[in-house]
Amino acid sequence: MSKVITLLGSTGSIGTQSLDVCRMHGYEVFGLSANSSVDKLLAQIAEFHPKYVAVTDPAAFEKLSAALAGQANAPKLLKGADGLRELATMDGAGTVLNAVVGIAGLDASLAAIESGHDLALANKESLVTGGHLVTDAVRKNGVHLLPVDSEHSAIFQCLQDQHSAKTLEKILLTASGGPFYGMTTEELRGKTKADALKHPNWNMGAKITIDSATLMNKGLELIEAAWLFGLPEDKIQIVVQRESIIHSAVQFADHSVIAQLGVPDMRIPIQYALTWPERLPSPVPELDFAALTHLSIGTADDETFRCLKACKKAIRKGGLAPCAANGANEAAVAHFLRDEIGFLDIGRLVEGIVDSDTFGGDYTLADVHECDRMARAYVEAHI
């Protein structure tokens, strides 16, 4: 099946796994983007021959321009956040896969949708910060929003039977629990960056790996699920599934529960977002039920893991509260990754911003960016 995609955030964990899927199925790559990983971009350009490449970091843009100077068939380069947004609007691709990390992906998500592209979305922060802008734009432009996040892909897969989907009653959003599952606040206090970067089941970018350790990732995913599937927070139950084999489940009106299972490998949800509604063979190994001795189930402790508590409060407040929680988290995680704050400070700062205002009401894209700036300033003032 021929397909042309633009891949935003191509040098990251999801980006490189997306290129594995493109390589496997011979998909054409129209556009690529990264922030500063010039060497990785050069290798990707040599293999996939994109027509356009966007680079957001100015120094990296200059370095890539110099490296490509004089090369025949070199891609056209686009610069900065404007370049990233422009790439997302370009006609050459049918689907835009957004694998940028953080709110830096929001404008490109909206640009892709508003220019009539289907959006395969890994960048959960787009829905967390601008949920109603994204979902309104999808409705208005009649495009498809295809989840890449493994849990949301699982839920989407469980809802493919339209008759059952109409009676969706509850979502069971699974969580691995991260490296610190079962620990007390006292045990969490001294946890370092090195401890937090050791995820039991998934190999991911640094920011989402820290989010998995704090359970912020599950809070962001709760908000993401509410926007994608239209259920209130109290109809989305978080279930800890330590082995990351059950990727999520749904419950219908008759209390029948349907789950999606598979080995923990992001290439399954990435591929499904690109092939939907079809399924194609995958390089991912099959789930070996003979070797599967048990599947553990537990609950998420939002009293200890304050980021999850804060996200639940944020979604109940509505408006820009999730955006504020996200902005504070992005800033706090950046400090934690530079060893400037402790592990528990992340939850303190995220909960602090959510508790600091009512955040209610409607918002524009400019309001979202202003709220994000305010949340980052809050973190600087309270670290």
Residues that bind ligand NDP (CB under 6 A): 9-15, 34-37, 56, 84, 99-101, 104, 122-125, 149, 202, 204-205, 207-208, 266
Burial 312-341 (b: 16+ CB within 10 A, else e): bbbbebebbbbbbbbbbbbbbbbbbbeeeb
Residues contacting Mg ion: total by CB under 5 A: 3
Compare residues 82 and 187 and give the one whose CB is closer to ligand NDP.
82
Least Å from the CB of residue 141 to ligand NDP: 22
174 is annotated as contributing to ligand binding: no
CB of 105 vs ligand NDP, minimal distance in Å? 6
Q: Is 212 annotated for ligand binding?
A: yes
Identify the CA nearest to 298 among candidates 155, 181, 179, 154.
Answer: 181
Query: Does 256 show up as a binding residue in the annotation?
Result: no
Contact stretch for Mg ion (CB under 5 A) within 17-25, 148-156, 322-330, 348-356: 148-156
- Contact predicate 29/7, CB 8 Å: yes
Query: Which of Mg ion, ligand NDP, none binds 100 (CB below 5-8 Å, type-dependent)?
Result: ligand NDP
- Pair 129, 323: CB distance under 8 Å: yes
Beta-bridge partners for 258? 250
Q: How far is the CB of 60 from ligand NDP (least distance, A)?
A: 7
Q: Does 125 bind Mg ion (CB under 5 A)?
A: no
Q: Which is nearer to ligand NDP, 175 or 251 (CB)?
A: 175
| Residue 31 near residue 108 (C-beta atoms within 8 A) | no
Contacts of 350 (CB under 8 A, 6+ apart): 216, 306, 307, 310, 311, 325, 328, 329, 332
**Would the annotation count 164 as a binding residue?**
no
Q: How far apart are the first and last CA of the chain?
A: 52
CB closer to Mg ion, 97 vs 320: 97
- Is 98 known as a binding-site position? no
CB of 239 to Mg ion, least distance (A): 13
Out of Mg ion, ligand NDP, none, what residue 202 binds, judged by CB under 5 to 8 A for its kind, is ligand NDP
Q: Which residue is nearest to ligand NDP (CB)?
A: 12
Residue 153 identity (one-letter amino acid): S
Q: Is 224 in the site for Mg ion (CB under 5 A)?
A: no
Give the single-character DSSP code of 31: E
Segment interacting with Mg ion (CB under 5 A) among 32-40, 150-158, 324-332, 341-349: 150-158
184 is in an annotated binding site: no
Compare residues 274 and 341 and give the one whose CB is closer to Mg ion: 274
The interface partner of residue 204, options being Mg ion, ligand NDP, none and the CB cut-off 5 to 8 Å by kind, is ligand NDP
Output the six-digit token pair for 114. Answer: 């508003």
Closer to ligand NDP by Cβ: residue 252 or 350: 350
* 154 or 250: CB nearest ligand NDP: 154
Helix, strand, coil in percent for the chain, rounding step 5: 50, 15, 35
Residue 277: asked if its preceding bond is cis (omega within 30°), the reply is: yes
State the minimum distance, in angstroms, from the CB of residue 219 to ligand NDP. 12
Distance between CA atoms of residues 222 and 240, nearest Å: 13
CB of 171 to Mg ion, least distance (A): 13
Burial call 192-215: b when 16+ CB within 10 Å, e when fewer: ebeebeebebbebbbbbbbbbbbb
> Does residue 149 belong to the site contacting Mg ion (CB under 5 A)?
yes
Residue 237 binds which entry of ligand NDP, Mg ion, none, CB below 5-8 Å type-dependent = none
Q: Residue 354: name the closest of 124, 193, 382 by CA.
A: 382
And the tokens for 211? 């989010």
Q: Does 207 belong to an annotated binding site? A: no
CA distance 239 to 42: 41
Please, which residue, 149 or 351, has the CB nearer to Mg ion? 149
| Residue 36 among known ligand-binding residues | no
Give binding residues as ranges. Answer: 11-14, 123-125, 149-151, 176, 199, 205, 212, 217-218, 221
Residues found near Mg ion in the complex (CB under 5 A): 149-151
Give binding residues for NADPH as ranges. Answer: 11-14, 123, 125, 205
